[in-house]
Amino acid sequence: MRKPKVRAAPKKSERKKVFQKRPLEKAQKEREARAVDRLEQELLKGTMKFGKVVLQPLEELTVRPRRSTSRDAPGGHADHDTDVGEQKDISEINLAAGLNLFQGDILLPRTRNALRDPASRWKFPIPYILADNLDLNAKGAILNAFEMFRLKSCVDFKPYEGESSYIIFQKFSGCWSMVGDQHGGQNLSIGERCDYKAIIEHEILHALGFYHEQSRTDRDDYVDIWWDEIMTGYLRQTGKSGENSMAEQYLRVLSPTDYEHNFNTYDDNTITDLNTPYDYESVMHYGPFSFNKNESVPTITTKIPEFNAIIGQRLDLSAIDLMRLNRMYNCTATHTLLDHCAFEKTNICGMIQGTIDDADWVRGDSSQPGQVDHTLVGQCKGAGYFMSFNTSSGVTGEGALLESRILYPKRKQQCLQFFYKMTGSPADRLEVWVRRDDSTGKVRKLTKIQTFQGDSDHNWKIAHVTLNEEKKFRYVFLGAKGDPGNSDGGIYLDDITLTETPCPAGVWTIRNISQVLENTVQGERLLSPRFYSSEGYGLGVTLYPNGRITSNPGYLGLAFHLYSGDNDMILEWPVENRQAIMTILDQEPDARNRMSLSMMFTTSKYQTSPGGRLYTHCNCFRSIDWGWGQAISHQLLKRRSFLKDDTLIIFVDFQDLTHLTKTEVPTSGRSMMPRGLLLQGQEPLALGEGSRKAVMEESLPSGLGQRQASRQKRSAENTGPVEDHNWSQYFRDPCDPNPCQNEGTCVNVKGMASCRCVSGHAFFYTGERCQATHVHGSLLGLLIGCVAGLIFLTFVVFSNTYQKLRQ
């Protein structure tokens, strides 16, 4: 471990220029609050009617709104009288909870070199338990994060079924995890305000064996740490006196403290960068204001100033995050990505031309006048390819087939996503077919799935087609000429992605987004068309191009609402336990490298108030919005591929999570919990060695969601009660020291010591501490048999001898 030399910090005013000042002035806050009140009074006029059902608007939808997954959303405000408040990062959440963990969010075992230790690597799939103390929204967000790992890596998860190593996701104070496989049941906390995708991915990466990016040995070549701006002093107690909160438990152990340890670096014997460059975009990097004592002055700045607004991003796994993950676990394939093609290679991804059609698709490039691909949008010479079918010649009805290679699904549902444009006649057609196994092993049986008709919009469009294939198949594109005499173009395809995931319920495309951002004023909004969820609920999205009235400048806002619809009479009201997910798509051609913004919250019945207005664009009623005034910064939108082709694409989903209400399962007594965890401030003598004072680890609460009475340590020599150390159950180890006698093994079963007694060839041990010795029944039977045989043999010999003597 090394700490760089302290450098003289530049003046605070100089550092402030790089960052937007975060706290608002009191007068400005008061003006904004009055503006919010006026807007909400306007929205709350009248009663929304869904069909003949009168229901409450979005207050009825949610009691616990969820926040943006973007690091660039520090001040999200809801269109609602329950303010979402400022979006906090992990360090801020844990500080507010009174935690001072190693590197801010790591529950530290004695051995820290999980990156170096092969024994700390998981075997896939990783068993998991979702404890019932988790918020329902957190459960949905965790499953969403699992899908990201399955899509982008070989990492996989499965429900717990009695395995010895597993992860238990629980709601404790703060967001934290252990590092690597601890070979027992280990906790991962998704506490209040932690339940969004990127934070969960961050904590799972810790569990998979990764540390923070700024802990690298070469960190100081890329960022500056302003040691004089790091907070020091006592932890602030957030829980009320007498509460069994983690804040109180930590205060007993850690106060007073400082936070400079969070910025230490470690040598190559402890962590490794796996031969990858320093990653400013890593989801494992601290944000610039982590552990700062002055709200508007950073503790970390980048050597390249353009990355000051990038570090600490909470969008998704970066490309280098994935590179390291796949190298560590030797990943060669993912679980849910079946196919991807951008047509950049001459072999067109193994796709084939049909043999029974009239013409062929042609691989084109962006060098031709008026021919612009979607992958690179014509920005690179000698690159940027697509497939096209000319519909301006020939006769009506001629077609061309383009077929994928044979694919082997693992799930029963797939989503085919692709970009297309049709520049010919409105009568031209692009059809999606599937060629299936005909039960003889040949993939030849054709079934039409969906048709796209030409129109006057000649821009690139995104399309989603749901497939339900269980056996090997090909997907097929059929281009058909509708009216060659009135066509001066054709049909184009690019950036095809096939995943084994559901397609989004709604897709909203906003054209000329640069003009929209420039011409709209703060507080002005755009409404999406009405979409329908899989259950039939009408829903939509509100876009605030320059944020809400209460937002800071330079941000885009996003909100969710319900529309009245055709199915309202038979739907379930109020709308409970549904998770609304809004995603701003990062339009990278490879789905594995996308860092899309996802925000989600789960509906509840507990908040109700009248509202709703009639809107002419859909002739329907709409609930008030629930969302975030600062969902993502304009700077980050322009840096990634969110605005490719001057187009913003937003997905919206509305999923039923009722089945996740009860998810926890009892754990097997076979699991062994690791020992000797360290809180920050209780450093070991050396990395990988025993600590000066072992701190008891967290045990599983009874039923996972409930705390059980403290059980004190005991030894074989002293089995009576001992004094209560007032240590948190999170760190108690009832097996330290081992209470079992006769070499018995102690197992932590839901926080209680349970002895597994040794059984030898001749003897076995029983009792609470393996104190009773017994002889194996088989050995006892053998002894009895031998004695009986000996007696019988003696009797026979004696009888024979006696008979001989009489003769």
374: annotated binding-site residue?
no
Planar angle of CA 184, 187, 192, nearest 5 degrees: 175
**DSSP annotation of 87:** P
> Residue 333: how many CB atoms within 10 A of its CB?
8
Q: Is 203 a catalytic residue?
A: yes
Cα–Cα distances (Å) from 784 to 630, 776, 779, 790, in that order, read 83, 12, 9, 10
pTM above 0.85, yes or no: no
| Closest CA relative to residue 450, chosen from 429, 428, 469, 465 | 465
Instruction: For residue 454, give every residue at least 6 positions away whose Cβ sits within 8 Å of its Cβ, in sequence order, or none.
Output: 422, 424, 425, 426, 427, 428, 429, 482, 491
pLDDT in the model for residue 73:
34
* Strand, coil or helix: 680: coil
Residues 6+ apart with CB under 8 A from 8: none
**Rounded distance, CA 80 to CA 82, Å?**
5
Domains defined for the chain, CATH in brackets: 56-86+505-660 (2.60.210.10), 337-499 (2.60.120.200)
Residue with tokens 């009408």: 538
Burial of 483 (0-12, 13-18, 19+ CB in 10 A): middle
Q: What is the reported pLDDT for 781?
A: 65
Q: CB under 8 Å to 367, separation ≥6 — which residues?
A: 381, 382
Residue 693 has a pLDDT of 31
Query: Are 76 and 68 within 8 A, CB to CB?
Result: yes
What pLDDT is recorded for position 339? Answer: 97
At 451, the amino acid letter reads T
Residue 747, classed as helix, strand or coil, is strand
Count of Cβ atoms closer than 10 Å to residue 147 Cβ: 17
Q: Which residues of the chain have pLDDT under 50?
A: 2-8, 20-83, 85, 110-113, 234-256, 607-611, 670-732, 750
Can you tell me the distance from the alpha carbon of 605 to that of 47, in angstroms, rounded to the nearest whole number?
Answer: 17
Per annotation, catalytic residue among 92, 201, 203, 588 = 203
pLDDT for the residue numbered 148? 97
Is residue 335 annotated as involved in ligand binding?
A: no
The owner of tokens 């590197």 is 103
Element (DSSP H or E) covering residue 431? strand 429-437
Please tell me whether 212 is known to bind a ligand. yes
pLDDT at 34: 46
φ and ψ at 2, to 5 degrees? -140, 145
The residue among 655, 587, 550, 170 whose CA lies nearest residue 374 is 587
pLDDT at 288: 95
Nearest to 318 by CA among 282, 346, 344, 347: 282
